[in-house]
Amino acid sequence: MYNKFKKEIRKKGNVKRAKLLQRFFKTGKGEYGEGDFFMGITVPEIRKLAKKYNDLGLKDIKKLLGSKFHEERLTALLILVDKFKTGDNNQKRRIFDCYLKNTKKVNNWDLVDLSAQKIVGEYLLDKPKKILYKLARSKNLWERRISVISTFYFIKNNKFKETLKISNILLCDSHDLIHKAVGWALREVGKKSLKTEEKFLKKYCLKMPRTMLRYAIEKFPEKKRQIYLKKLIVVNE
- pLDDT (tens digit, 9 = 90+) per residue, 18-32? 999 999 999 989 999
- pLDDT (tens digit, 9 = 90+) per residue, 137-165? 999 999 999 999 999 999 999 999 999 99
- Check pLDDT > 80 for residue 235: no
Looking at residue 234, its pLDDT comes to 47
Query: CA-CA distance, 67 to 36, in Å (whole number)?
Result: 10
Pick 52 or 227 by higher pLDDT: 52
CB 98 within 8 A of CB 106: no
Given its phi and psi angles, is residue 131 left (phi above 0), alpha (psi -120 to 50 degrees) or beta?
alpha
pTM over 0.85: yes
> Where do the structural domains in the chain lie, given as residue ranges?
1-114
Dihedral sign of CA atoms 215, 169, 194, 233 in order: negative
- pLDDT (tens digit, 9 = 90+) per residue, 182-212? 999 999 999 999 999 999 999 998 889 999 9
* Percent of residues, the chain, with pLDDT higher than 90: 85
Domain over 1-114 is classified CATH 1.25.10.90 = yes
Collapsing DSSP to helix, strand or coil, 69 comes out as: strand
Helix locations, 87-205, DSSP H: 89-101, 109-113, 116, 122-124, 130-136, 141-150, 152-156, 161-169, 176-192, 194-204
Looking at residue 233, its pLDDT comes to 54
CB 44 within 8 A of CB 71: no
